[in-house]
Amino acid sequence: MATFDEFLHLDLRVGTVRSAQPLDGAIKPAYRMEIDFGPEIGTKRSSGQYTANYRPEDLVGRQVIAVVNFSPRRIAGFMSEVLVLAAPDPNGAHVLLVPERQVPNGGRIS
């Protein structure tokens, strides 16, 4: 079991997807995205396997929730800086976790 203090070490923030494109070279179909987390954090890059439920144009302008304090990870030659959160649909494809309504970019999830 994780403790509440351990949970607090995760920095979960809201950001708006500014661009999304197919991630060339990925083993499984994926997108590369640039996400605006507001002035404190800035724009970060992420990759994810969202192709079953979203087209790139569906992602642009959408707010997402991401872990912004994990170490960057190279995926198919692309440096992914944040982990966007998603849940599986009935087929196991990713469905993004999003705020219920528009909120300021960079807002911390608590």
* Domain ranges within the chain, ordered by starting residue: 4-96
pLDDT of residue 110 exceeding 90: no
Average pLDDT over residues 62-91: 97
- Rounded to whole angstroms, what are the CA distances from 38 to 24, 26, 35, 61, 88? 28, 28, 9, 14, 28
Domain 4-96 sits in which CATH superfamily? Nucleic acid-binding proteins (2.40.50.140)
Provide the mean pLDDT of the chain.
97
**pLDDT confidence bin for 107, thresholds 50/70/90:** very high
